[in-house]
Amino acid sequence: MDKETLILTRAKEVIEAQLEIFQPRLDELLAKKGYKKNGKKNALHDKMERTIKDCVRSISIEHPVEMRETIKAFNIPSELPIYPLDCDYCETTLEEMLPSHSRLKNNIAFEKLCIVLYDISNKGIGKGEVLSAFLFRNSVSVDSGRDGGFSCTKGRIKTAEIKAERASLKGTESARKDVIDSLNKELLKGTIIFDEESPDTISEYFKRLDNISVANREKLVKDWLSLTADERKQMVGAMIHQRYQEIDEFDSYAHWRKDKKNNTLSVVIINDFSDIEELGKRFKYFPQTSRGGGTQALGDGYTDANINKELLRMQK
């Protein structure tokens, strides 16, 4: 065996040895996301496992030392961040969440692995869900109807809804609700709701659309004429966001964003949904104004939401 082949063979052996160390953590992740139950794999298990292992192999070739440190850190809970549940709101970056002593800080292999984990989505698994299950040391397994779960200081398990980029949030319980186009035709006669100036029309419109609470509808009607069209959109979007939490009854909401220019990750976490103004500061909303008017083609009463970029700039 020539010297070059020997080096490549040895490098492959080292990488595979690192993957063996990584395997228990990977198995834990796949179990948390429901890919392995009672020792049995489902159809997506092998695909998910192969995707992550291929990523680890690829990064190991380019950044062997950093990848070795990353694998070590993932097996030491104190090296990983805790999903914050003891605050009302949290806006932070992946780097800022890490403990100050963690070997994952300023680790390019860790950053690249997290981007791959973030981008994984498949059949009911949205962007950010796999990363959240893998990253936070207080992550726990939850039933398939939940995006994530995290243990808090009192030992209670809190459920989390996890979204990413521009995401759709529902304001009605029925995915088949279909009244918005008829409301537009009957009540608005060619205009869109955010240009409407009649409080009575606003009240009737949102009463029949039924995507915000009664108390919020009353507040909306009261404030409507003092708001610009953009302010109206923000208020309605935040009210739908609040209604979404009431419908699905999750304890926490995490919304990830990838900066494509710098390939970095940020997250906004909400644990208190009581203040629509606070929600409006953190997200830019795009409420649906016609059937299929958002990224959701089914059902009425949705809003799209994205992290407010200005908020993230202020954090820097």
Instruction: Write out the DSSP string of 116-168.
Output: HHHH--BTTB-TTHHHHHHH-TTEE---TT-SEEEE-TTS-EEEEEEEESSEE
12 vs 186, more confident: 186
141 pLDDT band (50/70/90 cuts)? Answer: confident
Q: Determine contact, residues 195/268, Cβ cutoff 8 Å.
A: no
Q: Tell the residue number behind the tokens 């794999």, with chain if given.
A: 41
Which has the closest alpha carbon to 315: 96, 12, 81? Answer: 96
Of 23-37, 68-82, 146-160, give the lowest mean pLDDT range: 23-37
Both structure tokens of 240: 């739908």
Q: Determine contact, residues 243/294, Cβ cutoff 8 Å.
A: no
Rounded to whole angstroms, the Cα distance separating 188 from 191 reads 5
pTM of the model: 0.88
Q: Which residues contact 192 (CB under 8 A, 6 or more apart)?
A: 184, 289
Q: Which residues contact 234 (CB under 8 A, 6 or more apart)?
A: 280, 284, 285
Q: Which residues contact 4 (CB under 8 A, 6 or more apart)?
A: none
| Mean pLDDT (whole number) for 95-124 | 91
8 pLDDT band (50/70/90 cuts)? Answer: very low
Which has the closest alpha carbon to 95: 83, 84, 110, 85? Answer: 110
Q: What's the confidence (pLDDT) of residue 313?
A: 58
**Highest mean pLDDT: which range of 122-126, 236-240, 258-262:** 236-240
Q: Determine contact, residues 130/29, Cβ cutoff 8 Å.
A: yes
For 262-293, the pLDDT digits (tens) are 889 999 999 999 999 999 999 999 998 887 64
Q: Identity (one letter) of the amino acid at 195?
A: D
State the virtual CA torsion across 121, 303, 218, 276 in degrees, nearest 10.
60
Rounded to whole angstroms, the Cα distance separating 16 from 274 reads 49
Instruction: Dump strand ranges (E) for 148-282.
Output: 148-151, 157-164, 167-169, 252-259, 264-270
| Mean pLDDT (whole number) for 237-266 | 94
10 pLDDT band (50/70/90 cuts)? Answer: low
Rounded to whole angstroms, the Cα distance separating 299 from 57 reads 43
3 pLDDT band (50/70/90 cuts)? Answer: very low
Which has the closest alpha carbon to 82: 99, 95, 107, 59? Answer: 99
